[in-house]
Amino acid sequence: MKKIVLIGASGFIGSAILNEALNRGIKVTADYYDLSSNPPSFKNYKF
């Protein structure tokens, strides 16, 4: 199984790459900047 780390997964291009990778069955670790938290923080999520 292939694995990737995607930085900026919540952005326009990053979200498209995330969807395509998941559709192809690739395991993804996604890093993104969460602006909804106070203070904004860097998050990590595994799919």
Higher pLDDT, 19 or 45: 19
Q: Give the start-to-end residue ranges of the domains of the chain.
A: 3-46
Choice between 39 and 6, residue whose per-residue pLDDT is larger:
6
Q: What share of the chain is helix, strand, coil (3-state, %, to 5)?
A: 25, 40, 35
Instruction: Give the containing element (helix H, strand E) for 26.
Output: none
Burial of 38 (0-12, 13-18, 19+ CB in 10 A): exposed
Q: Identify the DSSP state of 1.
A: -
pLDDT tens profile 22-43: 999 999 999 888 878 888 788 8
**How is residue 11 written in tokens?**
């952005």
Global confidence as pTM:
0.77
